[in-house]
Amino acid sequence: MQTIDLALATAPTHQAMPLRRVLGAYLAEARSECLRYLRAPSFLLPVVLFPTMFYLLFGIVMNHAADPHALTYLLASYGVFGVMSPGLFGFGVSLAMERDNGLLTLKRALPMPPGAYLLGKMLMAMLAAGVVILLLLAMALGLGHVQLTAGRAGLLLLTGMLGVLPFCAMGMFVGTLVRGQGAPGVLNLIYLPMSFMSGLWIPLSMLPSALQRLSPVWPSTHLQQIALHAVGLGQGPEWTHVLVLLVFGVGFSLLAARRLRRIG
């Protein structure tokens, strides 16, 4: 601990570093974070396969009527279900494990910009979310014959890559509260019930009225509405859902930052 304190005291701050070195530190951390997860199939395969398998099974195989409206609706819903995972688990589990094994303390002692660590994880989550949306789009257009313009497909991709950020903040907060071994279980207890109660698996109109009234509590409900707007099925003003997600993201980020300062 004394060695780490000495390193913290003597390490140069990023303000004193030339701009080129600061940018290089951000890029190096982002690259290492991406490579680390690309080499971890136990993380990437469930993130990519679960939403695509569900869409293939429930949206295409079991959709005997070949209803294009249902296929488009499920494209948006399972897209949201898919992008939640890299945000929650990519941040929550890895942060909890890095706290346990001391890697987070080591990174704090390194002479690099403090935001590079979080930026690398955010970039990886956005890339994973983009892969999920692209695979779902390929299945919807190729196997489901969904009629979707290039502009709407691009808007759905943008929605997924930006929509993962509030869940990154939520995962980061959970990662500051639990141990590494318990993080996957805790996050699954959040991820799966929230997906169901948001109408991602079953439309909200088919859920009990109590769950329908409770649905605005969940950020996934608001991201689903934005995704439905992206594919042309949205109702009501879109900006309210964007504002709610922004509040969720900022709120959980502040809570996580407070926890990190306390435990650091």
Q: Using 50, 70 and 90 to split pLDDT, how confident is the model at 169?
A: very high
Does the pLDDT of residue 2 top 70, yes or no? no
**Average pLDDT value for the chain:** 83
User: Residue 221 and residue 225: Cα distance in Å, rounded?
Assistant: 6
CB of 37 within 8 A of CB of 85? no
**In the block, residue with structure tokens 């939640």:** 84
Any residues with CB less than 8 A from the CB of 225 and at least 6 apart, and which? 234, 235, 236, 238, 241
Which residue would you say has higher pLDDT here, 19 or 194?
Answer: 194
Burial class of residue 208 in the structure, from the number of CB atoms within 10 Å of its CB (0-12 exposed, 13-18 middle, 19+ buried)? exposed
CA 114 to chain centre: 21
pLDDT tens profile 125-165: 899 999 999 999 999 998 888 889 999 999 999 999 999 99
Mean pLDDT along residues 167-185: 89
Residue 150 identity (one-letter amino acid): A
Cα 177 to the center of its chain, rounded Å: 18
CA distance 205 to 215: 11
Region 202-208 average pLDDT: 86
pLDDT of the residue at 64: 56
Q: What is the pLDDT of residue 9?
A: 43
For residue 20, how many other CB atoms are within 10 A of its CB?
8
Please state the rounded mean pLDDT for residues 156-176. Answer: 94
Whether 110 shows a pLDDT value over 50: the answer reads: yes
Cα maximum dimension of the chain: 68
User: Mean pLDDT over residues 116-122, rounded?
Assistant: 80
